[in-house]
């Protein structure tokens, strides 16, 4: 089947206006937003219903053409960029937005609903969605499940998989699997939605999700805590966490990064001197959690100094120190960026080994680390090197592997990291993943070239 | 290979004392504790290490003999009872008990550790394990993962799958997969431990688990609330839940059951008259949650009367009304018992339909329902019929299916319910489950006859 004929068949299924073949129009879908990853699709197809998704997948399967699912296209590892000769299936028209069920605190939404829309929808019902991250305006629910998105509040609410109460998806053969009843207890075999979470479009095309919502917590306190180093920061988080269930975020910044954002952006620091490390803590509760947090911090001998904010303005100023890292690094770079995690008690030795290895083997490099310390999640940014430098990336990921960490904490494997998957997963586990892939997609038509090593 | 030769080979792998072939000794393993389900194994083998488990599985695979994993043998659906001609692999000697990691609040424990031991171990470290249920003294960690155990606090902490931060298991071909690093964020493909949860021994033999622990919450309040019916009970739970994050348990009892336990055991009721339904609520927090719960209940127009207990003795008396149901029913029965769930907003219509169907088609039946109302989980007990009556079971499960519920909320499918799996799972989903089973256990040697319809 040639591309024009396939496009014509797809147009019959979803309407001509929803099959994009124009080169310029497709380009916005065929490359990721950073411009790092790009491919070339035969066509971009935008089904508007689950049945249309199934029909598109069946049509492509009959033609032996691969399907690359794409949500908001906010990914960072090339997981939604088409391989050559494939059809890009955009899920953004799947905008189902069911009423919130107040009894179960759950909601069913289409794959194309953005995370920001989901937040707003939950908010109108007096509830909240537990997962949140910067790309919320563009990122979609379908993409968030396919990549098992994490973000700012994993510490409290877990990742996207933990919110999943049901899923609807289309299999490689074009069958619809609907499991959206939202039963909290249902022990009738393995919960397949949990398998689809993080499968990056390789096991099915997600069309809708049933998600757990959480209570709105109006009372909030934010603290920036100065400590002598990473090990001390980890201790503070562990102590606060054990005594303060309202802890919602724990972010780490280090002296190098603090110097950058205070120097380049003129941000003030609420301490007399620049500490080796600082931890940003945020608690949210129905009661004012300020006293809880203060009590917890008073029990931490590692705390050198602390600034506490209970009002939105001062709290935002504390957050700004952490969030400004990304823009300062972008203005000085672009840096090589790697998103990794290690067990919290390994953060300090991992960081020491990483800095030593970079200093020795890449003397021109200037590493800046920060991240979600509560989850052991470190965003490794390296200035002074090519942002796509393969050897530096391999060097960093090798140090991660030696500390038994994950080579991708949040962003996924995509095309970017599949050659390094063996650093995180054992041969036995990769064999199981391949067996499952072969069983669920025997012709390899769902997102080929993503996740699995070639 | 004959049974004696296989037993001799196994004895070489795990030591003769750990291969049981004596008829009387095996009987304790070959039948479940209720005596309802029994089988006959070729031998019972009790490996003491993960490597021994792998060697046993390889030995059986070479001989073409099936392996039936068994934990504490507390299951209720025949999921750990051997099929004919299989080897029963008892995991109770896998007693690894690593120190609690205070930084991540996680612990790694062997499959054979009991839930009670896990609770005690977490408690010594000043933490708690979120999952708990009656069989805690015998039930094992491995069995709890294999059956995705739920229990009393799913409302707050989720099921066993939600506690899983890692897993170690032996595949059907006898390979060990170790994933115990406990990374909270690790998006390197699907999280296979979540697939093993609830797989009932059909996809692998679980040897160890890495589990999330939770803070100890010393302040506790318990309330028994009288309402006019199930719909009102559901509303109360929804309202309290939305405003009270400390809610940990919400149990339902109905007039028939209340009459039974007050009549037969002489238990007192803290209300002037017997209500149509009562909800037992329990909150736990670091602060005294009594005022929170009282405020929440004051906002519920459905509440007719309420008894509140903040001390252990009076709280236990309130719990006794709920917990005594099981023993009274046993003394009058044994009843036919089915463990099902529906979405909370369907609890009232489901119950009405069920009672009407039983009254019409099985006039001699006397149904008593109670359960974990926060999860939509109902324990259906039917007196006045054969406890194994196939038609009555089918009738009840048919009503569950019409309300889009689960035919097994907590106990699993095992051998008992596999003929009814299609009531809960669609053909497309069962096809995927079968494809995964065939991929991971191509010779069908792991727990044959369990979970999958014949």
Q: Measured between CB atoms, which of A179, A287, A433 is closest to B429? A: A179
Residue A258 CA, distance from chain mean position: 24
Q: Is it the case that residue B454 has pLDDT exceeding 70?
A: no
Strand intervals (E) in B15-172? 19-20, 41-45, 67-70, 86-90, 106-110, 127-128, 164-170
B421 CA: distance to closest CA in chain A (Å) = 7
pLDDT of residue B326: 87
Most confident region among B25-29, B92-96, B420-424 by mean pLDDT:
B92-96
Q: Give, as one character, the DSSP assignment of residue B100.
A: P
The answer to whether A76 contacts chain B (CB < 8 Å) is no
Strand intervals (E) in A237-376? 247-254, 277-285, 305-309, 336-341, 366-372
B440 with A424: Cβ contact below 8 A? no
B430/A21 Cα distance (integer angstroms): 37
Q: Is it the case that residue B99 has pLDDT exceeding 70?
A: yes
A236 CA: distance to closest CA in chain B (Å) = 9
Q: Is it the case that residue A321 has pLDDT exceeding 70?
A: yes
pLDDT digits (tens, 9 = 90+) for A382-435: 999 998 899 999 999 999 999 999 999 999 999 999 999 999 899 999 999 999
Q: What average pLDDT does range B58-77 have in this prediction?
A: 96
A191 with B411: Cβ contact below 8 A? no
B residues 110-129 lying closer than 8 A (beta carbon) to A: 126-127
A264 CA: distance to closest CA in chain B (Å) = 31
Instruction: Tell me the percentage of chain A whose pLDDT exceeds 70.
Output: 100
Around B65, how many Cα atoms within 13 Å sit in the side-chain half-sphere?
28
pLDDT digits (tens, 9 = 90+) for A26-58: 999 999 887 888 999 999 999 999 999 999 999
pLDDT digits (tens, 9 = 90+) for A61-87: 999 999 999 999 999 899 999 988 899
pLDDT of residue B388: 87
pLDDT confidence band for A15 (50 / 70 / 90): very high
Chain B residues inside the 8 Å CB shell of A296: none
B386 CA: distance to closest CA in chain A (Å) = 24
pLDDT of residue B219: 94
Q: Is it the case that residue A1 has pLDDT exceeding 90?
A: no
B313/B90 Cα distance (integer angstroms): 39
pLDDT of residue A286: 84
Tokens 């879908």 correspond to A29
pLDDT of residue A215: 87
pLDDT confidence band for A239 (50 / 70 / 90): very high
B86/B64 Cα distance (integer angstroms): 9
The two counts, helices (H) then strands (E), for chain A are: 16, 17
Q: Tell me, what's the ipTM?
A: 0.95
B residues 373-402 lying closer than 8 A (beta carbon) to A: 374-377
pLDDT digits (tens, 9 = 90+) for B330-367: 899 789 999 999 999 999 999 999 999 999 999 999 99
pLDDT digits (tens, 9 = 90+) for B109-141: 999 999 999 999 999 999 999 999 989 999 999
Strand intervals (E) in B270-322? 277-285, 305-309
Close Cβ partners of B261 (under 8 Å, ≥ 6 residues apart): B267, B321, B324, B325, B328
pLDDT digits (tens, 9 = 90+) for A247-290: 999 999 999 999 999 999 988 899 999 999 999 999 999 889 99
B27/B21 Cα distance (integer angstroms): 10
* Residue from B178, B185, B423, B436 to probe the interface with A (highest A Cβ count within 10 Å): B185
Q: Pick from A388, A390, A386, A376: which is nearest to A339 by CA? A: A376
Strand intervals (E) in A32-153? 41-45, 67-70, 86-90, 106-110, 127-128
B287 with A287: Cβ contact below 8 A? yes
Q: Measured between CB atoms, which of A102, A177, A412 is closest to B428? A: A177
pLDDT confidence band for A454 (50 / 70 / 90): low
B451 CA: distance to closest CA in chain A (Å) = 7
Q: Pick from B429, B428, B424, B418: which is nearest to B79 by CA? A: B418
Q: Is it the case that residue A147 has pLDDT exceeding 80?
A: yes
B residues 319-348 lying closer than 8 A (beta carbon) to A: 341-345
């Amino acid at each position: 089947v040639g591309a024009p004929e396939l496009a014509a068949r797809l147009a019959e299924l979803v309407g001509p206006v929803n099959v994009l073949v124009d080169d310029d129009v497709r380009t916005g879908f065929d490359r990721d937003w950073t411009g790092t990853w790009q491919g070339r699709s035969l066509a971009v197809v935008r089904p508007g219903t689950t049945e249309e998704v199934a029909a598109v997948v069946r049509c492509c399967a009959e033609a032996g053409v691969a399907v690359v699912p794409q949500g908001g296209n906010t990914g960072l590892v090339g997981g939604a960029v088409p391989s050559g000769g494939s059809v890009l299936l955009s899920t953004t028209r799947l905008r189902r937005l069911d009423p919130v069920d107040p009894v179960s605190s759950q909601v069913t939404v289409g794959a194309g609903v953005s995370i920001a829309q989901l937040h707003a929808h939950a908010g109108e019902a007096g509830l909240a969605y537990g997962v949140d991250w910067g790309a919320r305006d563009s990122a979609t629910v379908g993409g968030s499940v396919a990549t098992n998105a994490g973000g700012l509040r994993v510490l409290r609410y877990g990742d996207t998989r933990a919110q999943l109460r049901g899923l609807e998806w289309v299999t490689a053969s074009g069958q619809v699997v609907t499991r959206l009843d939202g039963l909290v207890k249902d022990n009738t075999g393995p919960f397949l939605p949990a398998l689809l979470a993080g499968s990056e479009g390789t096991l099915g095309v997600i069309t809708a999700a049933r998600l757990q919502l959480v209570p709105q917590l109006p009372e909030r306190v934010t603290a920036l805590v100065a400590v002598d180093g990473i090990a001390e920061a980890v201790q503070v988080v562990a102590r606060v966490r054990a005594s303060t269930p309202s802890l919602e975020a724990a972010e780490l910044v280090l002296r190098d990064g603090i110097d950058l954002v205070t120097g380049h952006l003129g941000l003030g620091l609420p301490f007399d001197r620049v500490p080796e490390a600082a931890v940003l803590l945020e608690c949210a509760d129905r009661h004012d959690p300020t006293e809880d947090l203060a009590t917890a911090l008073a029990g931490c001998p590692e705390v050198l100094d602390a600034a506490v904010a209970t009002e939105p303005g001062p709290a935002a100023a504390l957050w700004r120190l952490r969030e400004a890292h990304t823009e300062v690094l972008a203005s000085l770079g672009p840096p090589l960026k790697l998103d990794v995690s290690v067990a919290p008690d390994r953060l300090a030795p991992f960081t020491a080994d990483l800095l030593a290895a970079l200093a020795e083997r890449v003397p021109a490099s200037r590493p800046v680390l920060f991240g979600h310390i509560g989850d052991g999640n470190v965003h490794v940014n390296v200035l002074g090197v090519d942002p796509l430098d393969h050897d530096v990336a391999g060097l960093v990921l090798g140090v991660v592997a030696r500390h038994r960490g994950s080579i991708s904490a949040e962003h996924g494997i995509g095309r970017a990291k599949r050659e390094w998957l063996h650093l995180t997963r054992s041969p036995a586990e990769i064999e199981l993943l391949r067996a499952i892939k072969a069983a669920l997609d025997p012709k390899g038509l769902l997102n080929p070239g993503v996740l699995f090593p070639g």
